[in-house]
Structure 1
Amino acid sequence: MKKLPSKLMLAAAIAAISTPSAYAAESIAEAFQNGETSVSFRLRYEDVEDDSAAEDANALTLKSRLTFKTDEFKSVSALVEVDDVTELDDVEYNDGVNGMETKTKIVDPEGTEVNQAYLAFTGLPDTTVTVGRQRILLDNQRFVGGVGFRQNEQTYDSLSFKNNSLADTEVFYAYINDVHGITGADSKHETHLFNVKYKGLPFGALTGYYYNFEEDKVDGYDLETYGVRFSGSQDAGDTKLLYTAEYATQDNGTTDPDYYLLEGGVEFSGVTTKLGYEVLGADGGVAFNTPLATKHKFQGWADQFLATPADGIEDLYVSVGTKFAGVKLLAVYHDYESEDTSVDLGAEWGFVAAKKFGKNYGLSLKYADYEAGDTGTDKSKLWLTATAQF
């Protein structure tokens, strides 16, 4: 199962298409006529001060998204989604592809692209088969996600299967042929994802997974990752207890670094407090790697540790969240240390305030301030975001 030819995806697509093609074109046309169209916009101002760059930077970008999904016909439906990212002022920041190396990075390059384009087949019992460019978000996105915070989402050219035949169980498999990253660049893959989640326990959900991340290029990566995750909550009177535990190990061909997470929390009187400890370990100078993760969600919003330090990283964090006058508020503090050598890697404060206006509009303010420890440099980021969807 290590290598599957790319033709597998093409064969699955032909099989899915062949099912409805034998029927009258009028019925297929009706599936399109009954389809649903949606549009959304995200206007964002981002300001970054980074002591590691010669110049600071800011950006004012607009993300426009058009999505069309057909009605289902003979168990087959289709979805096409197009995104456009436009800088509303001069591009005076390093967007990851424009070569402005003296500027601070704001990885929101301009461009228009197909974000998703797939066929979905539901003709098998309790099963959905999806082929084409699609969104894949597994668990909390620590290993596989869409990096949805950035203006250009990460999506996958993939053949995926989701099955719910077993009681309280979801089985997911995907073969990824191509990854479309947040810079707009593509990377060829031979990646396999297995994820099985059981929700029948009275106190939480248990997930087991195997991910073989393999980037098919010179100096790419081949990472076999095995793990187990448990997450749940329990009511205790007026209080809700929250808990998560996760462990994974990764074979990179030479060493076997580990990952683990322990998180506990309490919801009481409208306030949620969490304390967590996350470790991406190192073995022989090679750290645990999460190449397809939504990394912005983890280890601080300043994105200081998108690449795991060679000596690994320990992240001790605490968060407090609530809602006041319809505004969601969240504050997070992180303390970082290298896993293998106990070097002080600094600390970070983060804060976000967000409010919805009806079903269609939203505003948010987000801020992160990273203070370097024995290594690195200080960095702060500010985001003002307005959204609309119809």
Structure 2
Amino acid sequence: MIKKNEARKLIHTAQGRKWLNQFKPLDQEIASALANNLTLVSHNEFERNLVSKMAQVVPSIPGPVAFFSIREMVARKAVLKGGEIKEAVYVSTPFYEQVELANDGESVVPLASTADVGSEGRVASIIRQFCKKKKNYYLNHPSLDKLRETKCRSIVFVDDFIGSGNRALDFVDSFWMEKTIVSWKSYKLIDFHVIAYSGVEEGIRVLESHKSNPSVHVYRDAPTFNSLPWSMERKQELIELCEKYGRVSNKKKKHMWLGYKKTMCSLVFEHGCPNNVPAILIEDSDKWTGLFPDRTISDTTLSVFPSEIPLEAKVESFDDIGYQQLGEATRLIGCGKEGKIMLLILALISKGKKKKTTLCYATGLSNDDCDKYLARCIEWGFVSPQKRITPAGLAELKAAKKVSKVKARRLHKGSDYYYPQQLRRSHGD
């Protein structure tokens, strides 16, 4: 059975009802769609899959490996021309000038004294546990002397989310201000890597453009409302809603109405909501109460965060692209969960919705798993290497439509594997 998105429960919570009632009756339908199409990431989902991504990437990195939790860094004003400040220019402060040495004398304190325990604290805890697996090989926030002593060959920066890329860029840049590390880099003695649970495509590109040339690895591309499998008219309706009520919630922050850098992000962590989401979701003032006020998750909304993002073909995604018949999952014969996901991928690509972000949102697949499904589609001849639907792929969708009209027969227990219609015929089924 294809399940409904867990985010659809949001508007039925106390916080959700309070938020929704601020909209005029005619605007509540699109406001509900905004909330219903959020991707909710629980503590369990975040920590388990960030660790799995680290475990996947690190073995291929030459070591010893140093791990650092990305955090906000301090900028300093550059004084130009004989001590006179000609213009407001800010540059990064070297990392080791900003941190405190830990009690062990070999590492630095991972969190700033003013930091809360949100994402930075969670990531620092994950790093600490991960480094215990190989204490002499994995270094937990090492000091510069420790890097030198161990002849560290790779620095890995870890974060929960790459939005605009600015925060991660500043953090990486603070290491680039360290003359010793730059010297090692110039002699190709050390490499930079960034591992995050999720990231926005534009932010990842910004980070990759840094002169240190870091390799960026994310578990899941961050979904945005721009990448949803909606029509352009539907997306425009949502943008107009965000702008209309952005004026109500905080008319002075026009630059945040569509999220920071106009990202229109639709991903929310249980430990906190990114500022890249539309402002009407996070604003907290006398005039407006966000669904996640001041980017926090209230007790009433915590309960709707699923333990993990389900791997499933979302029925609403079939509907959004005009394949309502395929969305009637109970009528599909012999597909199982994997088959429904495969059919949804083919349906999306047939409608030109081929960005990985869109495919991952609609199916719950991670980046790596999405690549595997796409490789299978290409191998079976349903999709071209350029991610275009082929005649064989269209024929498969057409055959599935016909099957959906036939009364479902009972399947043998455990038959959850997808056999394409064409392959079934070739095997005499």
- TM-score computed with the length of structure 1 as normaliser: 0.25
- TM-score computed with the length of structure 2 as normaliser: 0.24
**Structure label with greater radius of gyration:** 2
